[in-house]
Structure 1
Amino acid sequence: MLEVTGLVAGYGSTEILRGIDLRVEAGEIVAVLGSNGVGKTTLNMVLSGLIEPRGGDIRFDGRSLKGTSPAEIVAAGLIQVPEGRRIFPNMGVRENLELGSYGRARKNRAKNLEKVFDTFPRLKERIGQFAGTLSGGEQQMLAIGRGLMAEPKLLILDEPSLGLSPLLVEEMFALIERLNGAGLAIMLVEQNVVQSLELASRAYVVENGAVALSGDAATVAADPELRRTYLGL
């Protein structure tokens, strides 16, 4: 579904991504792991068309995304839930969700809104509230719900567990598993190594703008270098 080959990108004279290769197949969860500053957010921005790649190629659903605008990428079904939620705090819950269908799936807005409320009953309970008054966990639900409103073929989740309590982190990963169980392909970009590897079928570990380690999740989790670097073992 998504194939990235030799991806190079950066800002000004600074090169951030140095030949990234990765792929996501239909219906699977792929974890992209790494600490702050290794290039994960830059990768997401390139995939969403917000930064022009300097080299390599990105193919989504059989089509190259080179020279494709962010709006066209959304229309194709590649949807990102960005780090930090990026909701509109002074707008209501319903309005935030409806904005998710602005560029894709507009005709199914009412049906998809009910699906989101089935997935997140708490959002339905708070439908009249301003988004900025929601708890951190509820705001993350809102951000994911907004992404689901666009009927994604592939959903990129950028640090969905960031800033959540341990209990809410457990709930968030359970939600991701349910969404994938319904057939949604997910690229999970996270610092939470242990839980991401428990959930994903395959994983890529990014260091200094390049893939340092990749493979099926169980093999990556057992790798001595990963255990030493990220788990302190």
Structure 2
Amino acid sequence: MLTVEELHAGYGGTEILRGLTMTVAPGEIVAVLGSNGVGKTTLNKVLSGVCPATSGCIRFLGQDITRASSQAIVELGLIHVPEGRKIFPNMTVRENLELGSYRRGKANRAANLAKVFAIFPRLEERARQRAGTLSGGEQQMLAIGRGLMAEPRLIILDEPSLGLSPLLVEEMFALVSRINAEGLAVMLVEQNVVQSLELAGRAFILENGTFALQGSAKDLAADPALRRAYLGL
């Protein structure tokens, strides 16, 4: 579904991504894990067409999207839910969700809205409420729901557990599992190593713009180097 080969990117004269190669297959959850400042958000921006690649190749559903615009990438069904939610605080919950289908999914807007409300009943309860008055967990639900309105083929979730209480983190990972169970491929970009490895099938550990470790999530969870670096064991 998604193939990234020898991807390099950065800002100005500073190279952030140094030759990343990875794949995401239909229907799977792939985790990209790492601490702050290692290049996770830059990777997401390059895949979404917001930040240009300096070299390498990105293919999605068989099409080369390395130089494609963000609008064209969205229209293909590669949807990025950004870190920090990026909702429109002065618009209602419903209006935020409807904006999710601006480039893709407009014809099925009503049906998709019903699906989002079925996944996130709290959003339906607050449909007429201004998005900025929602709790942090509700805002994250809204950000994911807005992404689902675009009928994604692959959804990139950038730090969905960031800033949430432990209880809400558990709920958020359960919701990601539920979305994936319906057949949606998920690229989960997180600092939360333990729960991400429990959820994902495969994982890539990003350090200083390169993948230091990669493989099955189960194998990586048992890897002594990862356990020392991230789990303190």
CA distance in 2, matches of 1:15, 1:87: 30
Q: Distance in 2 between matches of 1:208 and 1:141?
A: 30
- The CA RMSD measured in Å over matched residues stands at 0.4
Partner of 2:166: 166
Given the alignment of the two structures, is residue 95 of structure 1 paired with residue 95 of structure 2, yes or no?
A: yes
Shift of 1:36: 0.2
Shift of 1:2: 0.4
Q: Does 1:64 align with 2:78?
A: no
> Letter of the aligned partner of 1:192 in structure 2?
N
After TM superposition, give the deviation of residue 66 of structure 1 in Å. Answer: 2.1
Count of residue pairs the alignment pairs up: 233
Structure 2 equivalent of residue 42 of structure 1: 42
- Whichever residue aligns with residue 12 of structure 1, its letter is G
State the distance in 2 between where 1:209 and 1:150 align. Answer: 30
- Structure 2 length normalisation: TM-score? 0.99
Q: Which one-letter code corresponds to 1:81 in the other structure?
A: V
Q: Please state if 1:198 is matched with 2:194.
A: no
Q: Distance in 1 between matches of 2:121 and 2:83?
A: 23
- 1:226 corresponds to 2:219: no
**Identity level (%):** 71
The CA deviation at 1:67 is: 1.7
Moved over 4 A (4+): none
Matched, 1:81 2:81: yes
CA offsets 1:35-60 (integer angstroms, 9 cap, x no match):
00000000000000011101110000
Residue 211 of structure 1, CA deviation? 0.4
1:4-45 per-position Cα deviation (integer Å, ceiling 9, x unaligned): 010000000100000001110000000000000000000000
Structure 1 spans left out of the alignment, 5+ residues: none
Matches within 5 A, 1:1-233: 1-233=1-233
Deviations 1:132-166 (A, max 9, x none): 00000000000000000000000000000000000
Counterparts of 1:225 and 1:67, CA distance in 2: 36
Whole-Å Cα distance in 2 between the matches of residues 173 and 166 of structure 1? 11
CA distance in 1, matches of 2:67, 2:202: 29
User: Which deviates further from its counterpart, 77-86 or 60-69?
Assistant: 60-69
Give unmatched runs, 5+ long, in structure 2. none
CA distance in 2, matches of 1:144, 1:51: 21
